Structure 1
Amino acid sequence: MCNNFTHFRLYTEYTVKNSIIKINELIKFAKFKSKKSLCITDKNNLFLSLKFYKECLKNKIKPIIGCNLVLKFKKFKYDTLLICKNNKGFLNLSKIISKSKLFFNNFIKFNWLKSSLKNNLIIILNLNSFYYKKINFKNCIKIINYLKKYNKNNFYLEINEKINNKNYNKIIFISNKFKIPLLAINPVSFLKKNDFLAYKIKTFIYNKKRKKISKNHYFYSFKKINKTFKEIKISIKNAIELSKRCNLFLKLNKIKLPFFKINKKLNKNTYFLKKLIKNLKFFNNNEKLKNYNFYKKRLLEEVKVIIKMDLTDYFLIVYDFVKWSKKKNIQVGPGRGSSAGSLVSYLLKITDLDPLKYNLIFERFLNKDRVTIPDFDIDFCQKERDKVIKYIKKKYGISYTSQIITFSRMASKVSIRDIGKFFKFNYDFINEVSKLIKINHNLNILELIKNNKSLYFKYKKNKKFKKLINFSIKLEGMIKTTSVHAGGVVISPNKIFNYSPFIIKNKVILNQYFKDDLEEIGILKFDFLGLITLTIIKHCIKNNKNIIIKKIKLNDLNCYKILTEGNTIGVFQLESEGIRNVLKMSKPKCFENIIALISLYRPGPIKFIKDFCLKKLNKKKIEYLDEKLKNILKETYGIIIYQEQIMQIVQITANYSLSEADNLRRVISKKKFLEMINEKNTFINRAINNNIEHDKALLIFNLIKEFANYGFNKSHAAAYSLLTFYTLWLKTYYIDDLMSSNMSYFFNDIEKLKIIIEDSKKNNIFIINIDINLSGKNFKKLKSKKYKKIRYGFKGLTGIGKNIINHIIKIRKKGLFKSFINFYKRINKRLVNYKCIEILITCGSFDSINPNRSNLIKKLILLFKIKVNKKLKFILLKKIYFKKNFFENLKLKY
């Protein structure tokens, strides 16, 4: 019986101000206590609901989902819990939450509950609410009569501990008078009693005004519950019975695709096929294909799978917004992920790479055995992807689309500083500890301490340090705030709240579910990804009309000459020192070499680079386990690099279909041990039936097993290598355009900016110093017959913001600045203050007007009427020297 008791008011970390409970800790704790059911009731949201549901089922715990909301009834507010009794209840709760966010400032109206409560939702009313110190008997009678009328069997009164004896007795009296069952509830905000201090710290960080924090809001044992509610044991019994009444069985993984609008008279599948055949014929006329029938056969095979899986609308939707983007001159990526392996994608101009030419496999993207929707991740110019999202919302309707929510979490250093402030530790001590914790995205604070001997020793010996670290470990990674996912968009066939709840953030409708959970409920999700490389390419095209990307030839020998020299600063994916050394060593001569090197230069397969280079340069013999593998591994000199090669090896050696081969690859890469044993036996038996000896079949399987962990998606590598080649071509023929664009978009990264400037100098580009009359916002290529020149932009100055730059340029349009005094008189001194002008002087902006910088500083001091002593004057002059030195280090020309 004790394990059947459920806490019906439990908050997780997603109720930011009221809990420190993480989902994995909650499930682990419940499993340890052998709990049969768990309930979560976060405030005003269902963020965690799907994840909680799946984790509970995985651990054989019954999931109960609810929400804590505030009911507004005739000018009065009541703290309520709405608990899902069944699936319909869950959908109704989603709608109620969405309405409360959209129309009623997080409150709910009684009218919204009338239709929902009868059979689907259970309401638990808290009369001892934080809104009222005393219970108003008349008001309570009104709300109770209404709720009882519409919701007789699914209505409970919440009873807490004896905080206020009068209220406690009144609730019992109301329960008896109106025959409403009482429910024993102790709010849960932390799991264990000794977690209170960590909870107090989090409350201090996020809600400093809050004074009352109960030590008793932890996960009570059944013994403690019995003791607390010993006078009204019926309330405990009611809670146990209620948990039995709540039965949620969500239908997951059922695809719900939106509809692509075409003429009603046309069949969408016929329209789809006709369009593709027409595009294939047009492609054939342009390229004069030798094997047109092979292309047509592949196309029909792909279309058959797409139609069978009812994904025609999906492909047409993507085709439509990519087509619109290109029409509006928005830069779109050549492809991303496995979608580049689809001929359908290529013929619809979603991707820019012929998959058959580079032996890319459709089954890696989509096959008949795949259950989930494949991902169409599309790259856009970072500056313009919002235009595409707006187009989607306009085309399909605001009620049918939403963006995806993301959560910012408490970072390691931030948690250390906040906790230090709570304990009123010395600032220097907090700062010292914060600096010791070096940010590592792969390790949390606990792992950093364990892996660092000096930190671990300090942790063991210094009590103050240990205290700060222990609480930081507890609060690290906690949810801080919600924000908008930059590129995630959802499109649904019906109104969005029929499938999931949403919230409004900065006037944007956001889906409440995690990005990965959307796939579980079958809603179509798109990733509109912003890629800075596309923005740089767009910037180059805008500044130089001679740049035509479509005319680039992938066999341009001048481009490969630059590659073999390792002269690839500014070239997408080939900028690091390591990859440049690899380029020098491997001497790439064709596009396939670029694809292979990018795929190899990653943790894991990087150990095969030396072997690859030696075999490529004929310094090492190329060997194959079987002659059947030669055609597959020939382009990579006998080394397995791609996931597609693994699929082809399985197909040719053991007569697997490509769909079966992809499933085998997934099993091996995910290291599913039991499935792997079964697949191994199946593979060997099928290979033997295909006239391959047992020992050789075993060797081939082990080879596949080894490389499946490293294998890269060739479709993605090939599509991204196209972007690499575009930037390589720009570096070869339009280097000043490319470098000025790179400088303009990486101005915030001083180290990278310095590398770009130094590389420009090596490539005989003169960097002209900043000038108050001639410089623009961005770094600009200057027209010159003899030399390539780039003028330094205002963007590259630290401390000069966007508004200041725009203001200076706006004033300058009315006439150039004739002198420093002329500049001073014309600017807005509130916006362009003393500090900003000092920066402009010290970096040489006024050198063309007056090269005497120290004299200008003296004038500036007089103009702003600042009293300076000799020491301050020395510091100002020192600043001029170091600022000048900085520009000289960048090898600027004065």
Structure 2
Amino acid sequence: MITAIISPYSFKGSILKLNDTINYAKEIKAKSLFLCDENFHATVAFIELCKKNKIKPIVGYRYKDKVFYAKNTNELYQLFEAYNSNNFENLNLEYIPSEEIYFAYYLPNQRYLYEIFSEFLEVKPVEKGVLKKIYCDLDVDEYKLSSNQTLPKAPENFLDLKVSNDEYERLKKEIQLVKEKDFVDYIYTIYEIVRTAENLKIKVGPGRGSAVGSLLAYKLGITKINPLKFDLMFERFLNPGRKDLPDIDLDIEDERRKELIEHLRRKFKFVYHISTFSNVGKKTLKKLAAQFKISSQKLEYLLNLPTHKSIHAAGIIISTEKINVPVKENVIEWDMNSLQKLGYIKFDILGLRTLTILSELEKKFGNVPEHDKKSYNLISKGYTTGIFQLDSFIGKRVSRLIKPDNINELSIVLSLNRPGPLNASIDKQYAEAKWKNKKILELDQLRETKGVLIYQEQIMKIAMELANLSAEESDLLRKAVAKKDKNLMEKLMNKFEKELSKKLSDNTVKEIIDVIKEFSEYAFNKSHAVAYAHITYYLSYFKTNFPKEFYKTLLKFDTSKKENVIFELQALGFNIRLPNINRINEKEKEFVIPLTLISGINEKIEIQIFQNGPYESFESFVEKNPELNFSIVESLIKVGAFDDLADSRRKLLEKLKEIRSGVNSQLLKISSKLFGKKIEYNYKPEQLWERCDMEHSILGFSITKPVKDFKNYLSPYAIAFSRNQKLATHIITKGGYATDGISTFKINAPDNTYTIINERKPKLINGLKKINYILNYIYSHKDIEKGNLYESVTFKRNGKKIKILKSRPLIDDYDIIIEEGT
């Protein structure tokens, strides 16, 4: 009987990892292996590993009661074609009846792991599936898979571009290298993708990655950042030593990515998505261990086994001619690595929600001016909710520390806002250099970053300009130091040090080498940072100048940070109003929560509700909206959308029950006769904290204050929350909710007044206390802002203590002192 292996990529419970299976085959001196999945996910890796280990690979496909197999490359392509068209009836290939094949799913002594994994995948394990003897002596030639992808052909005049005098030499060099590398058609394809998107008025990002350093990409309109203006390096993108294609990745608005790909398919004919696979991770392993009451160690073999296929978030394959790959529903069965090994060129088009939001705002308000000081001020205060790359709590802290005031410095903030630089305190080093002129290295190549090594390109510039290394050597040095490749680093560093010593003192050479070795692994791609900083700035501009429209657009496309939005609006002085079934004309500093934040209400339903209004009573609302789901109306009541029409939400909920009892439970279909009889309800209005509870159950936050007319003499809670800052707030609690007179939040504390220190584990102190923030350092007067009556800041200057009343810090390194006499 012939032996065939089923790989884990069949998702049939197999745990035959390819490497281990091939090693086992070598141990028992098997000369060939027969792969027989019901897909082709594992084909490329299987063939490659078999060849590497001098085992003959045989690829088959099981269809009903037959197993077809390919005797050569051409037949393998025929097998792909039959699979793609799901037409095996006319396939003229040799086959073996299924009953004559023994299908293996696991290695010896792995039955229990196989059964556990099968149960996890919800498939029934086979009775016999252990791989012992291997017999598959089929006459098969060597498979030679390769790419037959055909890119669109660039016109002869494609690179005939108009240039100014200062662009000529740079562009000439770039075009020459692109032609030498035979990359013209690749760049033309990217150009056509961008042009197609822009013709459809689909927002394309300003650029991504090292491609932003290419003047050619800028002149073609692929990127929107002039590399000459920002001193960006082409060599980081492409240099004579680079043999592979440089990545030119594109960002577009996520809502229209599918639309763009459909148009590209019409344009180029063959456009496919790429497969990607989810694997068993450590969390899954722990769950399995708990489920089967077995230690995680005994299940470790299951780590990294594939569990299901999905579609790569960005990558697509484009070809003007048909390609020899297995495809289902326009998705190639292979992953990115398999395709690249065969020579296929992928194109990354990533959908960004940020660009969807930006596109909406630009349609309403037009383009953004080059420099808006107020927009940088908002970032510098840490109000970065919804701001690209900076809306994390850590991003807010870095923004407050650095206080960027131009696009170059915003690029630096984005580069520093990563775990590596933050763990190495490079953000603080830069702040010291900026505000106190404490520079680490006085080099021209580090001037823009105040002597702090932040960008990868700075390493390359030091190597090229001071050590006379070639562009290729400089790029290799950057990679070697970042990846800690000792062999390559030692070879290049010796030359680097020798050349530096010809121009600089021994101390300076040592300083440069120490800095590069210490910080290069944290260095970031400047071209990428500059491009993304523009998106960050654009969003900050709209947020600063059109705040209400910004937040509404943000909430339209992203409700995941709705609580953050509400607190930040309050921190910026906006009065938040609950949703309302009647359209409200907002005042300048008012923000009405949109109905779309309620589950079940989309933009279409919200428009319908407003068009059916205005409403004079709850009954009139129900009459005019008979098709609304019961749960939606219940949610509207709980969030206070009827508060202007009724004094008790509880009373309205009771009315709703009465209405529901006589109709279909799914839909509110009410005849007007029902309201002909007046029903009296003797319910008292619910307490304020009960309203908080109702709102929180629907929205995830509360707007109603549990206690009226409360005055806070410390920092507003909304400021502490929005900026992720350890500040003190005076609050009063009632029924599990707290307020400072502006905001409301849930709290686990008895009813009382407190001073709360807002940190990861909030600290509660009974009563109102005076707070003094003792700064451990201060960079400038911008590190302090106006505070409340019982807040003060103390810091040292020239050895003297200075205390400023009614103030609070903008930075984070300080101690909180509770003063007596409150």
TM-score range, shorter chain: 0.7 to 0.9
Contact 2:580 2:642 in 1 (8 A): yes
% identity of equivalent residues: 28
Contact 2:67/2:95 (CA < 8 Å) preserved in 1? yes
Q: Tell me whether 1:711 sits opposite 2:523 in the alignment.
A: yes
Report the Cα offset of residue 828 of structure 1: 5.3
Q: Deviation per CA, 1:332-384: give whole Å up to 9, x if none.
A: 11111111111011111211111111111112112232222221211111111
- List per-residue Cα deviations over 1:779-836 (Å, max 9, x = no partner): xxx664xx23332122212x4254xx6456446535544533343345456xx44333
Q: Tell me if structure 1 keeps the 8 A contact 2:691–2:704.
A: no
CA distance in 2, matches of 1:373, 1:672: 23
Equivalent residue number for residue 438 of structure 1: none
2:151 alignment partner in structure 1: 258
The verdict on how the C-alpha distance between 1:388 and 1:357 changes in structure 2, with shifts beyond 3 A counting, is: same
Trace 1:382-393 onto structure 2 (pairs within 5 A). Answer: 382-393=254-265
- Contact 1:373–1:519 at 8 Å: present in 2 too? no
Query: Counterpart of 1:744 in structure 2: which amino acid?
Result: K
Given that 1:769 and 1:844 are in contact with CA atoms closer than 8 Å, whether structure 2 keeps it comes out as yes
Map 1:469-618; keep pairs closer than 5 Å.
Answer: 469=296, 473-475=300-302, 477-496=304-323, 498=324, 500-504=325-329, 509-542=330-363, 544=364, 546-549=365-368, 552-554=369-371, 556-606=372-422, 607-618=425-436
Distance 1:619 1:679, change over 3 A: closer
Residue among 93, 101, 106 paired with 2:84: 101
632, 657, 679: which is aligned to 1:861? 657
Which of 219, 238, 242 lines up with 2:131 in the alignment? Answer: 219
Instruction: Say which of 588, 593, 612 aligns to 1:792.
Output: 593
Q: Confirm whether residue 44 of structure 1 aligns to residue 23 of structure 2.
A: no
**Residues 743-782 of structure 1, C-alpha deviation per residue, up to 9 Å, x if partnerless?**
22232x2xx211211111221223322122338xxxxxx6
Residue identity in the other structure for 1:764: G
Letter of the structure 1 residue corresponding to residue 531 of structure 2: A
Q: Given that residues 808 and 827 in structure 1 are in contact (C-alpha distance below 8 angstroms), is that contact kept between their aligned partners in structure 2?
A: no
SS in 2 for 1:665: helix
Q: Is the 8 A contact 2:32 2:56 kept in 1?
A: yes
- 1:69 pairs with one of 58, 62, 68: 62
Instruction: Check the 8 A contact 1:330/1:381 in 2, yes or no.
Output: yes
Shift of 1:411: 6.3
Match of 1:774 in 2: 583
How far residue 632 of structure 1 moved from its aligned partner, in angstroms, is 0.7
Q: Aligned to 1:765, which of 574, 579, 582? A: 574
| Matches of 2:22 and 2:522, distance apart in 1 | 33
Contact kept? 1:305, 1:368, Cα under 8 Å: yes
Counterpart in the other structure of 1:354: 226
Say which SS state the counterpart of residue 604 (structure 1) adopts.
helix
1:620 to 430, 438, 463: 438
Alignment CA distance shift 1:38-1:623 (3 Å): same
Rate the CA distance shift 1:22–1:879 in 2: closer, same or farther, 3 A.
Answer: farther
Distance 1:313 1:587, change over 3 A: same
SS in 2 for 1:384: helix
Matches within 5 A, 1:743-762: 743-747=555-559, 749=560, 752-762=561-571
Q: CA deviation at 1:586?
A: 2.8
Alignment partners' CA distance in 2, 1:188 and 1:566: 59
Counterpart in the other structure of 1:247: 142
Match of 1:17 among 12, 21, 27: 12
Amino acid at match of 2:130: Y
Q: Is the 8 A contact 1:402 1:490 kept in 2?
A: yes
Whether the 8 Å CA contact 2:439–2:452 is kept in 1: the answer is no
Amino acid at match of 1:796: L
Equivalent of 2:646, from 839, 850, 853?
850
Please report how far the alpha carbon of residue 392 of structure 1 lies from its aligned counterpart in structure 2 after TM superposition: 0.6
Measured against aligned partners, the alpha-carbon deviations of 1:27-71 in whole angstroms (never above 9, x if no partner) come to 56567x38675635242322122233444566x45361413221x
AA in 1 matched with 2:528: H
User: What are the Cα deviations for residues 474-498 of structure 1, in whole angstroms up to 9, with x where unaligned?
Assistant: 54554333333343221024202x3
The answer to whether the Cα contact below 8 Å between 2:695 and 2:703 also exists between their aligned partners in 1 is: yes
**CA positional deviation for 1:405:** 1.8
1:406 maps onto 2:276 in alignment: yes
- 1:83-125 CA-to-partner distances (Å, cap 9, x unmatched) read 454xx24xx4244234323343xxx13x433xxx5xxxxx451
State the match for 1:445 in structure 2.
none
Map 1:662-811; keep pairs closer than 5 Å. Answer: 662-687=475-500, 700-701=512-513, 703-747=515-559, 749=560, 752-774=561-583, 784=587, 787-797=588-598, 799-800=599-600, 802=602, 806-807=604-605, 809-810=607-608
**2:91 pairs with 1:112:** yes
Aligned counterparts of 2:149 and 2:496: Cα–Cα separation in 1 = 36
Corresponding residue SS for 1:623: coil
2:250 is paired with a residue of what secondary structure?
A: strand
Question: Partner of 1:182 in structure 2?
Answer: none
Distance 1:560 1:814, change over 3 A: closer
| In structure 2, C-alpha distance between the alignment counterparts of 1:828 and 1:334, rounded to whole Å | 48
Structure-2 separation of matches of 1:356 and 1:393: 35
Alpha-carbon contact 2:543-2:550 (below 8 Å) kept: yes
Contact persistence 2:612–2:624 (CA under 8 A): no
The CA distance in 1 between the partners of 2:467 and 2:271, in whole Å, is 45
Answer whether contact 1:844 1:851 (CA < 8 A) is retained.
no
SS across alignment from 2:103: coil
* Distance in 2, Cα, partners of 1:562 & 1:815: 38
Structure with more contact order per residue of length (Cα contacts < 8 Å, sep ≥ 6): 1
Note the 1:873-888 alignment, pairs <5 A: 880=691, 882-884=693-695, 886-888=702-704
Equivalent AA in structure 1 for residue 354 of structure 2:
T
After superposition, the C-alpha distances for 1:439-474 in whole angstroms (9 at most, x for unaligned) are xxxxxxxxxxxxxxxxxxxxxxxxx7435x457645
1:411-426 superposed matches below 5 A: none
- Report if aligned partners of 1:21, 1:189 keep a CA contact under 8 Å in 2: yes
What code does the residue aligned with 1:112 have? L
Q: Which amino acid aligns with 1:789?
A: E
Number of residue equivalences: 682
Q: Cα deviation per residue 1:236-263 (whole Å; 9 max; x = unaligned)?
A: 5xx45x48x5434555xx79550146xx
Once superposed, what is the RMSD of the aligned Cα atoms? 3.4
Letter of the 1:800 counterpart = G
How is 1:120-269 mapped onto 2 (pairs within 5 angstroms)?
Answer: 123-126=94-97, 128=99, 158=100, 186-193=102-109, 195-207=110-122, 210=124, 213-215=126-128, 217-220=129-132, 236=135, 239=136, 242=138, 246-251=141-146, 256-260=149-153, 268-269=155-156
| Partners of 2:149 and 2:321 within 8 A in 1 | no
Contact 1:492 1:524 in 2 (8 A): no
C-alpha contact (below 8 Å) 2:576/2:703 kept by paired residues: no
Find 1:834's aligned residue among 630, 645, 659: 630
TM-score (norm 2): 0.75
8 Å CA contact 1:319–1:350 kept in 2: the answer is: yes
Distance 2:213 2:615 in 1: 57
State whether residues 14 and 42 of structure 1, in contact with CA within 8 Å, keep that contact through their aligned partners in structure 2.
no
In structure 2, what is the Cα distance between the partners aligned to 1:685 and 1:415? Answer: 52
Distance 1:366 1:726 in 2: 29
TM-score for the superposition, normalised by structure 1: 0.70
Distance 2:13 2:394 in 1: 48
CA–CA distance in structure 1, aligned partners of residues 95 and 280 of structure 2: 33
Q: Any stretches of 5+ residues in structure 1 without a counterpart?
A: 1-5, 71-76, 118-122, 129-157, 161-185, 226-235, 262-267, 281-291, 421-432, 435-463, 625-629, 776-781, 868-872
Q: What amino acid maps onto 1:466 in structure 2? A: I
3-state SS in 2 of match to 1:407: strand
Cα deviation, residue 569, structure 1: 2.9
